[in-house]
Amino acid sequence: MPRSRPPYPQEFREEAVRLVRESGKSTGVIAKDLGIANETLRNWVRRQEIEEGKREGLTEGEREELRKLKRENQLLKEEREILKKAAAFFAGETNGKR
Kindly report the backbone phi and psi dihedral angles of residue 3, in degrees, each rounded to the nearest multiple of 5, phi listed first.
-80, 145
**What CATH number is attached to the domain comprising 17?**
1.10.10.10
pLDDT at 94 over 90: no
Q: What is the pLDDT of residue 97?
A: 57
Query: pLDDT grade, residue 76 (50/70/90)?
Result: very high
Predicted model pTM? 0.67
Q: Give the distance from CA 76 to its chain's centroid.
A: 21
pLDDT at 6 over 80: no
pLDDT at 2 over 80: no
- CB distance 22 to 16 below 8 Å: no
Domain that holds residue 25: 1-57
Q: Reduced to 3 states, what is the DSSP secondary structure of residue 8?
A: coil
Nearest to 62 by CA among 77, 75, 47, 73: 47
In a shared domain, residues 46 and 90: no
| Tally of domains within the chain | 2
